[in-house]
Structure 1
């Protein structure tokens, strides 16, 4: 399963369109982790799984549990789980939802880590990055048994930001 993950585009349809054009055609799913600041029926979000961020209207769901090619993906913005301070509440929710991959945003800081066999990915921000210069999105390549690769890309150029990428080998 190969999934494009983006977040925090804050009303910019141009950056979303640019990222979708940059992504390879072998993407199995597209996720927006909130703060799109667009309407639920906006053409830029067509075929994109989108959750509500703290800057979005109430038309989007707070969370989604999606299965893509047998991988259980939990999607939330992160503001309800205090992700700017700790990942503990988010990890509890991921465990409750039996997620294999957790996608979240809110902090505008790209992050990828593994805890208890679950991979967590924050793609950073498409518009207002923090703690680094690049506006970023992520692509996760994950199969049920093999390694999980999280690659980050510059949203403006499409070039890989190799310093942010990570590979995980899951035990379960």
Structure 2
């Protein structure tokens, strides 16, 4: 299973489409973790699984979603409803409740990936307004059931060399 995960593009429609189109043909799923600030029918997010962030208004997107891709359960939320800027505990409870293998979130604009209690947590950062790093990031997760790799990329498609994470899963 191969997933592109992006978040917090904050109104960047054309720029978002550039990133998605760069990888679209090689992905099993495209995920946007909220704060796109785009309407649900915007061409940039066609075919993308999008959730609602705190800067998204209207009812175009759900607050959370669970996607099953090639037998992998992926939970997606923006994170503001789980207080992810302060703690990952409420998010982890929800991911475990849904039996997710991967939990994707945004909101903090801080790119990170970590493994906890058998769940891979991924925040792709922000392609527009990154925090804690200068790179405007998104990521790709490759997952085969026993092994996963999360690779972060800069907006221009270059790999962020110190942000490649490998996980052995039981």
Which bracket does the TM-score occupy, shorter chain normalised?
A: over 0.9
SS at match of 1:89: helix
Instruction: Provide Cα deviations, 1:66-89, integer angstroms capped at 9, x if missing partner.
Output: 111110000000001111111000
Indicate whether 1:35 and 2:35 are aligned.
yes
2:24–2:30 contact (8 Å) kept in structure 1: no
- Structure with a larger share of its residues in strand: 2
Q: Residues 46-65 of structure 1 correspond to what in structure 2 (within 5 A)?
A: 46-59=46-59, 60-65=61-66
Which whole-Å CA distance do the structure 2 matches of 1:99 and 1:139 have between them? Answer: 17
Q: Residues 1-172 of structure 1 correspond to what in structure 2 (within 5 A)?
A: 1-23=1-23, 25-59=25-59, 60-144=61-145, 146-155=146-155, 157-171=156-170
How well do the aligned residues superpose, as a CA RMSD in angstroms? 0.9
User: 1:58 Cα shift?
Assistant: 3.2
Instruction: Provide Cα deviations, 1:41-73, integer angstroms capped at 9, x if missing partner.
Output: 111110000000000023210000111111000
Which whole-Å CA distance do the structure 1 matches of 2:73 and 2:104 have between them? Answer: 11
- Structure 2 length normalisation: TM-score? 0.97
Deviation beyond 2 Å, 4+ runs, structure 1: none
Instruction: Provide Cα deviations, 1:109-157, integer angstroms capped at 9, x if missing partner.
Output: 001000110000000001000010110000000012x3110000001x2
1:141–1:150 contact (8 Å) kept in structure 2: yes
User: 1:170 Cα shift?
Assistant: 1.2
Which whole-Å CA distance do the structure 2 matches of 1:48 and 1:163 have between them? Answer: 27
Structure 2 gaps of 5+ residues are none
1:15–1:127 contact (8 Å) kept in structure 2: no
Paired residues, number: 169
- Structure 1 length normalisation: TM-score? 0.96
1:6–1:137 contact (8 Å) kept in structure 2: yes
